[in-house]
Amino acid sequence: MAILGLPEEEYFSYGHRACAGCGAALAVRLITKAAGRNSIIVEPTGCIEVVSTPYPETAWKLPWVHGAFENAASIASGVTSALKHLGKEDVNVIVIAGDGATYDIGFGHLSGAFERGHNFTYICYDNEAYMNTGIQRSGATPYAASTTTTPSGKESIGKQEWKKDLVHILAAHGSRYVATASIGYQIDAYKKIKRAIETKGPTFVNLLATCPTGWRTDISKSIEIAKLAVDTGVFPLYEIVDGRHIVNRPKSIEELKPVEEYLRMQGRYRHLFRPERNEEAINFIQQRVKENLRSLLEHVEKGL
């Protein structure tokens, strides 16, 4: 049976210890629904590892392996090779990793596994910082976000660098399918994960997952914010299929909502509005978001 096109079966049990309103927990529900029973999940260290397996209990109803912080892609490489040897190549191998393990710590292993071309899917639930250890900045943390290692203040805007463009880095490895998705558009996310799993070779989905604790947002607004991230163009939804871009949302510069709507809802950007409005920083973010979408749309136009 399916509801809204999503299978009814749950492979990630309630009773897990994620915070109320956790976007990553919802991300895992969607991922496991797309994966189905015939799957092996590989998990590096991160929020989901911690909240899902308070030993001797586990939230998983699928085979699940936890390694170290950095080596999920390498474990997945080993698992795919073993399955190949056993003649069981119909089993889905899926890595579910946070942005810390993906963008920073496990990046070398991830790059290696993509270059070797193992048949697995890597899904990053991107909550834009090391949340479980206390909100330290990562390569995925966006510009101007205040974290415990990039605190905002008189001399600091928060994080000074733009978010790393990991999706294009992995596309450049020659992957046949990479995409961005948001838990705010859950059906789109489910379809993309499903497509990534069905595509041969290494594939990647960057799945934006709100973190009320780290983003300092209202726990009931996790989905609303994840939708706004897309509609303001801060986190546009696109796919790169066999090297060609498809932009799903937003479809044009004109339909962009102002980034302010998105920034205002989050405590990590509070310093951009109080004690006084930082017009310069807000304009900078707005301009760069527009440029980014323009560049994506140009890729589509040129058939790149």
Partner 1 sequence: MINFENIKLKVNDKEITIGAVLESNGSVSNLKTGAWRSKRPVTNLEKCTGCGVCWSLCPEGCIVKRDNGKFETNLDYCKGCGICANECPTNAIEMLMEEK
Binding site for partner 1 (CB under 8 A): 3-4, 6, 8, 10, 12-23, 25-26, 29, 52-64, 183, 186-187, 212, 219-224
Helix (H) or strand (E) holding 123: strand 121-126
Cβ distance to partner 1 smaller for residue 13 or 287: 13
Nearest to 170 by CA among 208, 99, 209, 113: 113
Q: How far is the CB of 92 from partner 1 (least distance, A)?
A: 15
Bridge partners for 241 per DSSP: 177, 244
Which pair of tokens denotes residue 274? Answer: 């109080």
Q: How far is the CB of 159 from partner 1 (least distance, A)?
A: 26
Rounded Cα distance, 138 and 164, in Å: 9
Rounded Cα distance, 298 and 285, in Å: 20
Cβ distance to partner 1 smaller for residue 158 or 214: 214
Q: How far is the CB of 13 from partner 1 (least distance, A)?
A: 3
Q: How far is the CB of 231 from partner 1 (least distance, A)?
A: 15
Nearest to 42 by CA among 6, 7, 90, 78: 78
Q: How far is the CB of 57 from partner 1 (least distance, A)?
A: 4
CA distances for 3 relative to 8, 33, 211, 227, angstroms: 6, 11, 26, 21
